[in-house]
Amino acid sequence: MKKVQAYYSILQFCPEPARLEYVNVGIFLFCQDKQYVGVKFSETPRRVEKLYGPQNHAFFNTLKDAFSERVRVEFSQFQERSLIERFASMRANQLRMSKLLPMSVLDPDKDLSELFYELVGVEKPNSRRSSVRSKLKNIFKDAGVLDFLDEPEPVSLPEFGIDVSVPFGYQNGSYNLIDPVRLDHDAPADALKEAGKRAIEGKWLEAHFSNEQAKKRLVVVGDFDKQPDNFYRAVLDLMSEHKVSLHRLDALDSLLTDIKQHMPHH
């Protein structure tokens, strides 16, 4: 596998734009050849607080979520570089994007993480914080099912104003959208936020296709590394209530078995 052309932008935050002292808080990565658009943010505004003092964490998280959702909606069709440059040039408030810079990538998820730790530098990468998507992809590959999985197009839910975008999918009577999610955050509130988002998306997905013959459902694979069992059980209950299937990243036998049983349908 050879490297291909990609472009990245540094995401910078300033609570007082008039001061023009922006702090690096994230990375945006775009690779048209691999149909990849990725965003990685600092979990907290800790670096901003070193310069500006205490910040409103809820506002910071809302700003990140709004930007990430905007990117997902705007670039779900993997637009050309010129359109992304135009998008970046329009970001001039508290959160802005630097000029797009070229780089070569082999594994966009891994390259995004490495770029993040190099330029944002909140903490050094370790195996626990490596991409859950990459971990899951390797598990699928080792189990011999990766080639039988789809790369689904984003599923639009216009009545709710969102698209559900996941890296893997397969058919077993219903169409299963597999979403790998990191749920091993040091702050339980951050993990619950991620779990809650998927629960709501899964409920809306089930509701949207409830009257159609071709059903779709969300399957979440969560990395619960170092989380207590009671936390996992609480998330499992939440997902079940919202019609979402939940699997632990370290216990995927049932999911792998189901994929293998339905491989002839691909």
**Which pLDDT belongs to residue 234?**
92
Mean pLDDT of 242-266: 88
* Crossing angle of the two packed helices 132-142 and 108-119, in degrees rounded to 10: 150
pTM, two decimal places: 0.54
Mean pLDDT of 168-181: 93
Query: By three-state DSSP, how is residue 5 classified?
Result: strand
Mean pLDDT of 96-112: 87
H-only helix segments in 26-131? 46-52, 57-74, 81-89, 108-119
Q: How confident is the model at residue 130 (pLDDT cuts 50, 70, 90)?
A: low
| CA angle at 35 for the pair 41 and 134, rounded to the nearest 5° | 60
Q: How confident is the model at residue 247 (pLDDT cuts 50, 70, 90)?
A: very high
Domain-by-domain residue ranges, the chain? 4-123, 132-265
> Domain 132-265 falls in which CATH fold?
Trna Endonuclease; Chain: A, domain 1 (3.40.1350)
Indicate whether 76 pLDDT > 70: no
The per-residue pLDDT for range 27-49, each reduced to its tens digit, is 999 888 888 888 999 888 887 88
Among positive and negative, which fits the CA dihedral 114, 120, 126, 127?
A: negative
